[in-house]
Amino acid sequence: MKTQIKLFRLLALLFFTLPTFAQQTQIKVEAGDYPRKQSIITLALPISYNQKNYQLENLRTGKKAIIQQKKDNLYTFILPDELAAKSTAVYKITEVKNSKTSKNLVKLSKNAEKIEVKIADKKLFNYHIQTVYPPKGFPDYYARSGFIHPLYSPNGSVLTDDFPKGHMHQHGIMMALTNTTFKGEKHDFWNQHSKLANVKHTEVLAIEEGPVFSSFKVKHQHYSLKYGAVLDEIWTVRVYSFQKKFLFDIVSELENITKDTLFVNKYHYGGMAFRASKHWNIDDSLHYQNKWQIKTNNGDDVATANAKAAKYVSAFGLLNGKTAGLTVFAFPQNLAYPQPIRLHPTMPYFSFSPMVNAAFTIKPKEVFISQYRYLSYDDLPQEKYIESLNIDIEFPPVVKFIP
């Protein structure tokens, strides 16, 4: 009898903790003031939703989308319907009975040297686990790990550069602080030739593929050559299942792991950087082809954008006779948003640099978080589309859970 009671209690517990799909649990997506198309949406589901993936189905159009677990009870999906401004769509949530049938478009391949990211059969980028050394004849202090290069456009144009002529210390997509003070002394994590500080990869924390996005999490160490580790940095990189244009996010979490405050001084550059193609580098006489172009959300260009605040920056131009480009979006949660940018007057690189207008600190155990979205493409920047992506970041659709 006691065994039967225990069994009954167990069955009752299972019944009340699992979602009841027979009731067609639903969510409502509200477009708000803007039209929506292929919006990336994150929603919180009740804790009882304990699977990796669920499916949405529009009650009116029948269009479907996979919901993929992002973290804990947070799930992400790509809006399957176009919504006009002020409109809504209602979706029922159903269980994915066999998640293996969901094709993972974004493929991650890890070895001792790197994590290689592909979308279908096309290369997107390499993230460097192992230290990469400079070309023969250059000092080893330029060696670096924990960065992205090469970054490709969908048609295979290489958008980044590493060990570029004239600026050997710049590496594709990288994060580094420049003018800082630690223990009363100057520390420069960006300019490796200063021989004061550097950044390196230390650990792969997680790697996961899914139908909506694939992601990996890695750890970097920002270290003083005199005092050792100062900051631990976590990168969470999430690559979405888009094919015509490539789209991915990087979340950077810089944690002060010492007992001393790191002072980030007011300075004209530093932060999350993009070093662009060697074919746009006028100092590289062997590979130079033509100048790049820049356009920000404010309409600023190469001549006017430096030190101005921007929500996003588009870099584009001809690469081997074909147009390709990259747009980088900052998120509103970032310090000093819209963030000032450093745009070099002749070299093809820029960084989002929150220290341009004011100093800040990273205190012991404090975590400095910043997030960026990257759009890679093979044409001139499509302003209407790019602005719609920015609107989704600044003013995301509202999602309401209907139990």
State mean pLDDT over 182-210: 98
- One-letter amino acid at 124 equals L
In the chain, the N- to C-terminal Cα span, in Å, equals: 36
pLDDT at 113 over 80: yes
Residues 272-324: pLDDT tens digits?
Answer: 999 999 999 999 999 999 999 999 999 999 999 999 999 999 999 999 999 99
What region does 163 belong to: left with phi over 0, alpha with psi -120 to 50, or beta?
left
**In the structure encoding, which two tokens stand for residue 93, read together?**
């949530």
pLDDT at 4 over 80: no
Residue 294 lies in a domain: yes
φ/ψ of 180, rounded to 5, equals -130, 160
pLDDT for the residue numbered 20: 37
Q: What pTM does this model have?
A: 0.93
**CATH number of domain containing 209:** 2.70.98
Query: Which of the pair, 401 or 136, is modelled with greater confidence?
Result: 136
- The residue out of 63, 81, 99 marking a domain boundary is 99
Q: Are residues 90 and 118 in the same domain?
A: no
Q: Based on the structure, what is the number of domains in the chain?
A: 2
- Residue 254 and residue 222: Cα distance in Å, rounded? 9
Q: Find the radius of gyration of the CA atoms of the chain.
A: 23
- The residue out of 67, 99, 131 marking a domain boundary is 99
- The residue out of 80, 99, 118 marking a domain boundary is 99
Residue 398 lies in a domain: no
**CATH number of domain containing 81:** 2.60.40
Q: Are residues 172 and 34 in the same domain?
A: no
Query: In 3-state terms, what secondary structure has residue 322?
Result: strand
Residue 403 lies in a domain: no
pLDDT at 24 over 60: no
The C-alpha angle 200, 204, 207, rounded to 5 degrees, equals 140
State mean pLDDT over 54-82: 94
State mean pLDDT over 118-133: 98
pLDDT-derived band at 46 (thresholds 50, 70, 90) equals: confident
Q: Are residues 87 and 115 in the same domain?
A: no
Residues 257-266: pLDDT tens digits?
Answer: 999 999 999 9
pLDDT for the residue numbered 6: 40
The chain-wide mean pLDDT, for the chain, equals 93
pLDDT for the residue numbered 18: 34
Tell me which residue range forms the domain holding 209. Answer: 106-393
CB 373 within 8 A of CB 246: no
**In the structure encoding, which two tokens stand for residue 188, read together?**
């420069």
Residues 327-360: pLDDT tens digits?
Answer: 999 999 999 999 999 999 999 999 999 999 999 9
Q: Are residues 252 and 351 in the same domain?
A: yes
For residue 271, what are the β-bridge partners?
A: 176
Residues 133-189: pLDDT tens digits?
Answer: 999 999 999 999 999 999 999 999 999 999 999 999 999 999 999 999 999 999 999
Q: Are residues 115 and 228 in the same domain?
A: yes
Residue 401 lies in a domain: no
Question: What is the edge-to-edge ordering of all strands in the sheet holding 197-208?
Answer: 197-208, 213-224, 228-240, 246-256, 367-377, 322-330, 312-319, 293-296
Q: Are residues 147 and 88 in the same domain?
A: no
- Least trusted range by pLDDT, from 26-40, 66-80, 344-358: 66-80
pLDDT-derived band at 17 (thresholds 50, 70, 90) equals: very low
pLDDT-derived band at 47 (thresholds 50, 70, 90) equals: confident
Q: Are residues 160 and 90 in the same domain?
A: no
pLDDT for the residue numbered 99: 53
